[in-house]
Amino acid sequence: MGAAAGGLGGPLAGAAAGITALGATVGFLFAQGVEATGVLQRFDTVLGDMADEVLRVDVGDLNENLDDLAIKLGSDDEALRDASASLFQFGINSGASRQAAATFTKQIDALAARAVALNPALGSVGDVAESMALRIQRGGRFAATFQLSLTAAEIEARALADTLRTAIAKARGE
């Protein structure tokens, strides 16, 4: 269309160029809207009844809505929701209950928000949360960059304590 507009000359060429630019902008905005809708649907599908729980970040002194928190820190709220869905799914796949996975997700989101607040050069909250999730999954030296690394003995001790706590609770009928 732009080449055809070149042959029109004068005001018609300018109008044709404007229409071309408008069409490109509308196409871009439409694609962004479709992507955002997909992220929101994924978040709601993966988290289900825990979606509202994860959206309320109540960790330490941080009591904020996840979307508002992302926007306040200059981040994309859809990207943070996408990272949160991945974190939640990781928790579930690791054998955690839905409540435990939601708590884990909220804690990582809060850590990511704190990291970005202290050092905006890290990027968006969603990117940092996604990076934390990958490093936690890999463990070892990758998790150590966030000072989250545990020795094998520490992991075994924690697993034993959790198993004993669960067995005692079941024996009591809790």
13-40 confidence digits (pLDDT tens)? 565 556 665 565 555 444 445 454 666 6
Q: What is the structure's pLDDT at 2?
A: 47
Angstrom distance (rounded) from CA 139 to CA 145: 10
Q: What is the structure's pLDDT at 162?
A: 78
Please state whether beta strands 56-59 and 62-65 pair in parallel, antiparallel, or not at all (unpaired): antiparallel
Residue 116 vs residues 34, 41, 106, 133: alpha-carbon distances, Å: 27, 26, 15, 15
Q: What is the structure's pLDDT at 118?
A: 86
Residue with tokens 């974190």: 87
Structure tokens of 131? Answer: 């990076």
Angstrom distance (rounded) from CA 131 to CA 113: 12
Q: What is the structure's pLDDT at 151?
A: 65
Q: What is the structure's pLDDT at 99?
A: 92
Angstrom distance (rounded) from CA 88 to CA 80: 12
pTM recorded for the entire structure: 0.60
Angstrom distance (rounded) from CA 78 to CA 71: 10
Q: Could you give the 3-state DSSP secondary structure of residue 174?
A: coil
Q: Which residues of the chain have pLDDT under 50?
A: 1-2, 5-6, 28-32, 34, 36
